């Protein structure tokens, strides 16, 4: 029998999810990192900092994904959509943990801007979910398409020897593609090109700021 949560219960759960997302080493992955089976590469200082910056961007992207899905789950109209959003958020935790682990191995740190981007993404997700489930699902698809584009870009920037980060990003790419396809199949709205262009601009602001901060 499925339990029905009150608004207070859901808000409490959202606060817990936010803390687990933003506090380092608070989450556990359900799958082992794809980097585990890859050899450690010999990077010079400049390469190491660059790879750490790229992985910091991807980690912040996963922070945003967590917030987006949690916001959408909070305001979803249909129970099956809420369940789907919560399930997607659980899958994205793997990416969050993998990126955080790799950043630590490279001697870097996660972005100081993560709380800001979490709050903004949560508000966007909650707003989209409140308007309609179709719009919410469409936003998932469009967001995941943007993520796949910047993952592809980052894969092209990695040093050839950096197989650990490459393995992580390649698995993330496959997972994000599946999330996008599933969202459209579930009835998501296909966003027009101008809206996607605006989302791309916001993504560039996020990547430029979190590369170093």
Q: Give how far Cα 180 sits from Cα of 33, 49, 147, 184, 213, Å.
A: 22, 31, 10, 7, 29
CA 183 to chain CA centroid, Å, is 15
Q: Is 92 annotated as a binding residue?
A: yes
Q: Is 154 annotated as a binding residue?
A: no
User: What's the rounded Cα separation, in Å, for the pair 61 and 67?
Assistant: 10
Q: Is 80 annotated as a binding residue?
A: no
Q: Cβ(12)–Cβ(70) under 8 Å?
A: no
Q: Cβ(109)–Cβ(55) under 8 Å?
A: no
The angle subtended at Cα 62 by Cα 56 and Cα 67, nearest 5°, is 130
Q: Is 59 annotated as a binding residue?
A: no
Q: Is 179 annotated as a binding residue?
A: yes
167, two tokens: 């393995």
Tell me the binding residues.
62, 92, 95, 144, 176, 179
Tell me the binding residues for Fe cation.
62, 92, 95, 144, 176, 179
């Amino acid at each position: 029998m499925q339990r029905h949560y009150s608004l207070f219960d859901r808000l409490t759960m959202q606060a817990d999810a936010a803390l687990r997302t933003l506090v380092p080493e608070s989450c556990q992955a359900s799958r082992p990192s794809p980097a585990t089976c890859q050899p450690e590469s010999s990077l010079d200082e400049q390469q190491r900092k660059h790879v750490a910056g790229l992985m910091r961007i991807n980690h912040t992207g996963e922070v945003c994904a967590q917030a987006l899905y949690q916001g959408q789950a909070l305001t979803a109209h249909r129970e099956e959509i809420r369940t789907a959003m919560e399930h997607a958020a659980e899958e994205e935790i793997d990416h969050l943990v993998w990126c955080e682990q790799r950043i630590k191995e490279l001697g870097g740190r996660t972005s100081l801007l993560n709380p800001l981007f979490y709050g903004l993404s949560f508000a966007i997700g909650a707003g989209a979910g409140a308007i309609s489930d179709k719009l919410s699902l469409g936003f998932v698809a469009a967001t995941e398409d943007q993520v796949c584009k910047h993952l592809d870009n980052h894969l092209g920037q990695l040093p050839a020897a950096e197989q650990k980060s490459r393995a992580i990003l390649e698995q993330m790419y496959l997972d994000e593609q599946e999330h996008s396809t599933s969202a459209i199949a579930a009835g998501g709205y296909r966003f027009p090109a101008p809206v996607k262009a605006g989302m791309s601009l916001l993504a560039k602001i996020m990547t430029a700021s979190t590369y170093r901060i």
